[in-house]
């Protein structure tokens, strides 16, 4: 059973949109609304993704930042992640006001990451594309890919592990090393159908 009701998912996407617009237009950070459902004050991990409208998934990304661990109340984490996705993703310049009409907002609410147990060579069999996101850590290096990413790119489980290693700045086969920590998690994903448009729960398969 979903942890996040559809109406809460819509609330979070609208909140993320407002946070981006207010910061991009006016340089101001919004506060959580008084009408925030009490459940959204629970600490949860969350990522906010900004995508260009009418672009293929592989070229649509305009910014994506979040918090893998439940360190902030979900409503506050969503605001922070939305602003960071628009302004602090090192892969892109900050979003401009002129771009707001061409960006759709996506919010992914994460379960806490759990270790992928067992021998490293069995890791592809312990994860599932279409269900899991991955977090890989080794020393000071870490990288995360959300569950929707391998579907958009058509990866299998081994390629998903390799690409998460690459995201962490590590060799693509580092998932085979026992010193590399691999975690998996799931996400409930909500997205705008168009800028300011209806919000839907995004199926992974």
The pLDDT tens digits for 22-67 are 999 999 999 999 999 999 999 999 999 999 987 776 678 999 999 9
Q: Is residue 40 part of a domain?
A: yes
Residue span of the structural domain in which 124 resides? 114-185
Query: Do 53 and 138 lie in a common domain?
Result: no
Is residue 15 domain-shared with residue 74, that is, in the same domain?
yes
Which phi and psi (to 5°) does residue 46 adopt?
-155, 145
The predicted structure's pLDDT at residue 149: 94
Angstrom distance (rounded) from CA 200 to CA 93? 28
Say if 165 falls within a structural domain. Answer: yes
Residues 97 and 141 both lie in one domain: no
- Asked if residue 172 and residue 93 are part of one domain, the reply reads no
Number of structural domains (the chain) is 2
Whether residue 191 contacts residue 199, with contact meaning beta carbons closer than 8 Å, is answered with: yes
Residues 147 and 162 in one domain: yes
Question: 16 and 98 in one domain?
Answer: yes
Residue 1, domain member (yes or no): no
């Amino acid at each position: 059973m979903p942890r996040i009701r559809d109406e809460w998912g819509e609330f979070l996407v609208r909140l993320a949109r407002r946070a981006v617009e207010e910061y991009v237009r006016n340089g101001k950070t919004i506060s959580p609304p008084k009408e925030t459902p009490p459940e959204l004050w629970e600490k949860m991990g969350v990522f906010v993704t900004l995508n260009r409208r009418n672009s293929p998934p592989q070229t649509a990304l305009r910014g994506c930042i979040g918090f893998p661990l439940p360190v902030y109340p979900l409503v506050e984490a969503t605001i922070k992640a939305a602003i960071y996705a628009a302004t602090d993703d090192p892969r892109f310049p900050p979003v401009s006001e002129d771009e707001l009409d061409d960006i759709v907002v996506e919010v992914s609410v994460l379960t806490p990451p759990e270790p992928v147990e067992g021998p490293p060579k069995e890791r592809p069999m312990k994860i599932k594309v279409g269900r899991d996101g991955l977090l890989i850590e080794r020393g000071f290096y870490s990288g995360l890919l959300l569950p929707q990413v391998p579907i958009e790119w058509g990866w299998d489980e081994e390629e998903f592990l390799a690409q998460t290693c690459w995201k962490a700045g590590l060799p693509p086969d580092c998932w085979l090393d026992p010193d590399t920590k691999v975690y998996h998690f799931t996400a409930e994903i909500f997205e705008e159908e168009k800028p300011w448009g209806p919000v839907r729960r995004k199926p992974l398969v």
